[in-house]
Amino acid sequence: MGISKKDYHRRAANLKAKIAELEPKVRLDPLKKHPELHDELAKLKKDLAQG
């Protein structure tokens, strides 16, 4: 059984909020001194793209 439309949209909104929270931190770290931030952002973007 799949997830409902409401749950799908809620999940997508949560992912977008996390991405919006992480992007400024990642931009301030161009030398990747904190690679976990970059990895988490990439993972979130991948999850959002998959649907």
Q: Which residue blocks in the chain are alpha helix, DSSP H?
A: 5-27, 35-50
Instruction: Provide the pLDDT confidence category of residue 51 given band limits of 50, 70 and 90.
Output: confident
Q: What pLDDT sits at residue 47?
A: 96
Angle between the N-to-C axes of helices 35-50 and 5-27, in degrees from 0 to 180, rounded to the nearest 10: 150
1 has pLDDT over 90: no
Structural domain including 24 reads 5-50
Predicted confidence (pLDDT) per residue in 3-41, tens digit: 899 999 999 999 999 999 999 999 999 999 999 999 999
Give the count of domains, the chain: 1
